[in-house]
Amino acid sequence: MSYDYDLFVIGAGSGGVRAARMAASMGVKVAVAEVRHIGGTCVNVGCVPKKLFVYASQFGEEFEQAAGYGWEVGSRQFNWATLRDNKNAEIERLNGIYRNLLSNSGCELIEGRATLKNAHTVKVGTQHFTAQRILIATGGWPFIPDIPGREHAISSNEVFYLDQFPKRAIVVGGGYIAVEFAGIFAGLGTNTTQVYRRDLFLRGFDLDIRQFAAQEIAKKGVNLAFNKDITDIEKLANGSLKVTFNDGSCEETDCVLYATGRTPKVAGLGLEQTAIKQKENGAIIVNDQYQTNEPSIYAIGDVIDRHQLTPVALAEGTELVRRLFGNGGPEVDYSLIPTAVFSQPNIATVGLTEEQAKAEFGEIDVYKSDFRAMKQTLAGGVERTLMKLIVDKASDRVVGVHMVGPDAGEIIQGIAIALKAGATKQVFDSTIGIHPTAAEEFVTMREPSH
């Protein structure tokens, strides 16, 4: 049978663009359909604009601390419209780059909502396209629970485009997105409360890291309200929002941001027209080759809900295309995936938590260093840094590395390579540090803490 395309990609986010470009470079006839912005969540309403906002939110503290280093900083004022509009211009630039990457690689970009009609047919608008293979890379979508007044809350999609920046904000959630935005709001001068229904945020991270991060984040002015949840949001005549909590207390605020997770973006995709099966949360079920129950249809990235990380979607797209159209290649290794939380201070981690390592290896050594970084001395700052190494006693292999402190993400990226290579504690010990840096602590910790 003759098809319009060899590969039809639904979704022009990180994973979809990578797969489409790679396939086209191999001579495959490829089309990509996208209903929103080119580049997906990460470029438009995710990691890229969020990181820009994190940078912006750090300047207030930098201005304060500059005096200790001899700088006389004059009057200053944050202008939300300037940050928002400059960010918009940068995102538009990146959209253009992604668009050019697709067109220059030979892909056909079809702008509109794609719907599956059957195992080999996609409808976009009034047009129908056939393809030998279809790849679903539609990503995820923010989840806001169904509570009274939920229409008055915003998600991470809307926060980047606010007309007015709030003087008061409540951030709901305990994951990394909630932690990051609480820090952004507080750093930009907003009276910020982070509400989380459990007793400590960042579930899944190492317990020491979670506790230490809570201590340091509170120092930055974020009011941490654990074991608390919102039951109702009411809009008042003056434009403020009245928030009622499950303990009966109330609070007025200007903004309620829900960062309570993301769900696979599958609504209206037409999955029911195929044999594709889904998990309870809507995620598309795939095998080890990213193939769905419909043999001609594949899925990668957040929509399969394995690891909601841009680099993982890129790796999955790369592996899939190499196997389908190239000479194959290494499978995606989901172990030792480094990750960072761009909170203030940063959190970064790779490998096992202490709890996981104990369960897997039994006998472990734990090394910790808790200190005030050099920059804080003349600045008069109170921020502390925590570094932690977890070692399998039997093999001496380092199986987990965790950090809370400035540039944690930059530091852990390099250490992730060492763990991937199987570095032992002896390798860390024999590595000469760069002095004076915080990172050298990772190669100078000699005595286990327990």
3-state secondary structure of 257: strand
Pick from 16, 5, 95, 6: nearest CA to 304: 16
Do 180 and 84 share a structural domain? no
Q: Is the same domain home to 311 and 379?
A: no
Amino acid occupying residue 352: L
Mean of pLDDT values over 1-26: 96
**What ranges in 254-403 are assigned the alpha helix state H?**
310-325, 354-361, 375-379
Residue 181 included in any domain: yes
When pLDDT is averaged across residues 208-230 and rounded to a whole number, the result is 98
429: containing domain: 339-443
What integer pLDDT is reported at residue 329 of this predicted model? 85
Same domain, 268 and 255: no
Residue 333 covered by a domain: no
Identify the pLDDT of residue 65. 95
| Residue 132 shares a structural domain with residue 180 | no
> What would the pLDDT profile of 173-202 be if each residue is shown by its tens digit?
999 999 999 999 999 999 999 999 999 999
For residue 106, what are the CA distances in angstroms to 101, 193, 238, 365? 9, 48, 54, 53
Which CATH number belongs to the domain containing residue 420 in this structure?
3.30.390.30
Q: For residues 188 and 249, state if they share a domain.
A: yes
Give the CATH number for residue 168.
3.50.50.60
DSSP E strand stretches across 145-246: 168-172, 191-196, 223-226, 230-235, 241-245
Q: Do 122 and 200 share a structural domain?
A: no
Give the whole-number percent of the chain exceeding pLDDT 70: 100
Q: Are residues 272 and 368 in the same domain?
A: no
Start-end of H helices in 283-436: 310-325, 354-361, 375-379, 408-420, 425-430
Considering 292, 325, 358, which residue would you say is the last residue of a domain? 325
Helix (H, G, I), strand (E, B) or coil at 210: helix
Residue 33 amino acid letter: A
Please say if the pLDDT value at position 96 is more than 90: yes
**352 and 429 share one domain:** yes
Question: Using omega within 30 degrees of 0 as the cis cutoff, is the peptide bond preceding 345 cis?
Answer: yes
Mean pLDDT of 126-141: 97
Q: Are residues 123 and 12 in the same domain?
A: yes
Domain presence at residue 413: yes
User: Is the predicted pLDDT of residue 1 greater than 90, yes or no?
Assistant: no
Domain count for the chain = 3
Residues 369 and 389 in one domain: yes
Sign, Cα dihedral of 98, 103, 106, 112: positive
**pLDDT digit string, tens, across residues 281-303:** 999 999 999 999 999 999 999 99
Which residue carries 């502390």 as its tokens? 384
Q: Does 226 fall in a domain?
A: yes
Average pLDDT over residues 226-249: 97
Q: What's the pLDDT at 37?
A: 87
Which residues have a catalytic role annotated? 435
Are 67 and 103 part of one and the same domain? Answer: yes
Give the model's pLDDT for residue 95.
94
How does residue 146 score in pLDDT terms, banded at 50, 70 and 90? very high
* pLDDT average, residue stretch 304-329: 95
C-beta neighbour count of 418 within 10 angstroms: 17
448 domain residue, yes or no? no
**Can you give the pLDDT at residue 450?**
80
pLDDT at 260: 96
Whether 330 is in a domain gets the answer no
48 with 36, same domain: the answer is: yes
Q: Are 137 and 19 in contact (CB under 8 A)?
A: yes
Q: Which CA distances in Å does 309 have to 46, 247, 399?
A: 10, 35, 21
Q: Report the pLDDT value the prediction gives residue 110, as an integer from 0 to 100.
A: 96
Q: Strands (DSSP E) along 138-248, which ranges?
A: 140-142, 168-172, 191-196, 223-226, 230-235, 241-245
- Could you tell me what percent of the chain has a pLDDT over 90? 98
Of 325, 349, 373, which closes a domain? Answer: 325
Does residue 20 lie in a domain region?
yes
Residue 449 lies in a domain: no
Tokens of 424: 């032992």
pLDDT at residue number 52? 98
